[in-house]
């Protein structure tokens, strides 16, 4: 049995890892303030897919992780999943960049705490938003591979304050290894999705709009709808981490991606089809669209023995079945 700390563990990504480690028999300590607009859900209100309170190894601290770090300087953990961050989809990234910059402070305090508490291993959630936006433009976009961020040479311009914070966290992970001998690995998830994701993200909002729509009205996506993302199911993200986390200890990064780019127009068409009707998909230009194409090379993941297996079509079909059931339950 490992002693696992998950910062930000009540959010979308965290809840899936909490389930994984509890089911593996580990003791799981979750710290999360349930801040507005971050997708955090208080366990006391019930989590959508499972109830962590049914496990005796589940411990929840409703507080900012920075406060937890200040009062638990020497608590020892076998594993820390550091997920705590101000997150929340494109609108938040573009409209509230200074609020997101709080991530710089969260990560600084995390690494200062880790230098004293010395967890055996840290799994750090960075982001594909750390990659240079210049490689994601309509003209000349490429599948992004890990070595395209090179701290010894060229790091490029990441995606707004969110990207800067994630990039800085990766840099701190490397310094923590070099200067303090701390073991860690950083992950760069692409567009992670799942049925229980909060509605600020495109996956649930487009699926729910498709379910609420009909053949008589167009389905609306943001921008032209031609912009593309690499959608990876949250179960694949969990498997990807579990399969590869022991391979890197020096703070180096691994993508969590499928290598497949899907436009929002195509995504919406699949969602409509999964709801059993057909309609026109239209863009709207009063919403932020972000980069044109963000897809992740899979070479390193595959070398480490992991390949995502859940197709976007399967993910959409199962999420729509889940939303349908819940509407039926009300
Ligand atoms: C909510 C919504 C979004 N969209 C489109 C508009 C944008 O082109 C795209 C934005 O997706 P997202 O909010 O996931 O933002 P990205 O710029 O892709 O960045 C995301 O992926 C990186 C890796 C992170 O780490 C971020 O946390 C995450 O926000 O979805 C729609 O078309 N319809 C909608 O209802």
161-194 tens-digit pLDDT: 999 999 999 999 999 999 999 999 999 999 999 9
* Bridge partner residues of 231 (DSSP): 191
Alpha carbons 289 and 203: distance in angstroms, whole number: 14
pLDDT digits over 65-102, tens only? 999 999 999 899 999 999 999 988 898 899 999 999 99
Instruction: For residue 308, report the distance from its CA to the centre of ligand 1, in Å.
Output: 20
Choose from 34-43, 90-99, 246-255 the range with maximum mean pLDDT.
246-255
Give the position, in ligand 1's atom list, of the atom nearest the Cα of 128: 23
Question: 312 falls in which pLDDT band (50, 70, 90)?
Answer: very high
Give the residue-averaged pLDDT of 111-139.
Answer: 98
pLDDT of residue 328: 56
Provide residues with CB under 6 Å of ligand 1. 87, 89-90, 93, 127-129, 190-191, 201-202, 205-206, 221-223, 227, 229, 264, 289-290
* ipTM of the shown complex: 0.96
Answer whether residue 283 shows pLDDT above 60: yes
- Residue 88: predicted pLDDT: 82
CATH for the stretch 194-228+262-294+312-329: 3.90.25.10
Q: Has domain 3-192+232-258+298-303 been given CATH number 2.60.200.20?
A: no
Residue 270 DSSP SS3: helix
Closest residue by Cα to atom 29, ligand 1, is: 89
147 vs 254: CA distance, rounded Å:
10
SS3 115: helix
Q: Which of 8, 38, 90 to mutate to test the pocket of ligand 1 (most atoms within 8 A of CB)?
A: 90
* Percent residues over pLDDT 90 in the chain: 91
Per-residue pLDDT, averaged over 26-53, amounts to 94
Report how far ligand 1's centroid is from the alpha carbon of 168 (Å): 21
Map out the domains of the chain as residue ranges.
3-192+232-258+298-303, 194-228+262-294+312-329
Sorting pLDDT into bands at 50, 70 and 90, what band is 330?
A: very low
Name every residue whose Cβ is closer than 8 Å to that of residue 150 and which is 6 or more positions away in sequence: none
pLDDT exceeds 60 at position 25 = yes
Judged against a pLDDT cut of 90, whether residue 38 lies above it is answered with no
Whole-angstrom Cα Rg for the chain? 19
* Cα–ligand 1 centroid distance for 91 (angstroms): 8
**What is the whole-number distance in angstroms between the Cα of residue 309 and the centre of ligand 1?**
22
Give me the mean pLDDT over the 26-45 stretch.
94
pLDDT of residue 286: 87
Residue 326: per-residue pLDDT: 85
Q: What is the mean pLDDT of the chain?
A: 96
pLDDT at 89: 85
Residue 8 Cα to ligand 1 middle (Å): 20
The atom of ligand 1 lying closest to the CA of 91 is 13
| pLDDT band, very low/low/confident/very high, at 329 (cuts 50, 70, 90) | very low
Assess contact for 84 and 65: CB atoms under 8 A: yes
DSSP H or E segment with residue 7: strand 3-7
pLDDT score for 74: 85
Q: Report the 10 Å Cβ neighbour count for 94.
A: 17
């Amino acid at each position: 049995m490992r002693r696992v700390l998950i910062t930000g563990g009540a959010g979308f990504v965290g809840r899936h890892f909490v389930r994984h480690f509890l089911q593996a028999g580990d003791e799981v300590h979750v710290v999360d303030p349930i801040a507005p607009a971050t997708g955090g859900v208080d366990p006391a209100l019930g989590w959508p897919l499972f109830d962590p309170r049914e496990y005796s190894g589940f411990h929840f601290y409703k507080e900012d992780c920075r406060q937890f770090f200040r009062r638990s300087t020497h608590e020892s953990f076998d594993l820390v999943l550091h997920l705590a961050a101000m997150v929340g989809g494109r609108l938040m990234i573009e409209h509230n960049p200074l609020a997101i910059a709080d991530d710089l402070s969260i990560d600084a305090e995390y690494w200062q705490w880790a230098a004293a508490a010395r967890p055996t291993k840290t799994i750090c959630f960075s982001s594909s938003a750390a990659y240079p936006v210049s490689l994601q433009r309509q003209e000349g976009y490429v599948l992004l591979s890990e070595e395209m961020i090179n701290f010894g040479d060229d790091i490029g311009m990441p995606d707004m304050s969110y990207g800067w914070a994630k990039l800085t966290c990766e840099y701190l992970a490397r310094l923590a290894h070099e200067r303090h001998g701390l073991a860690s690995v950083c992950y760069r998830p692409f567009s992670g999705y799942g049925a229980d994701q909060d509605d600020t993200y495109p996956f649930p909002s487009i699926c729910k709009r498709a379910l609420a729509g009909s053949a008589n009205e167009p389905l609306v996506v943001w921008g032209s709808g031609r912009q593309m993302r690499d959608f990876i199911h949250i179960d694949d993200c969990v498997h990807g981490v579990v399969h590869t986390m022991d391979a890197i200890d020096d703070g180096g990064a691994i993508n969590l991606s499928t290598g497949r780019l899907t436009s929002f127009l195509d995504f919406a068409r699949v969602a409509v089809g999964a709801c059993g009707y057909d309609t026109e998909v239209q863009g709207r230009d009063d919403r932020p669209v972000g980069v044109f194409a963000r897809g992740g090379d899979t070479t390193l993941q595959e070398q480490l023995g992991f390949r995502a297996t859940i197709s976007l079509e399967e993910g959409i079909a199962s999420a729509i079945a889940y939303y349908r059931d819940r509407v039926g339950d009300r």
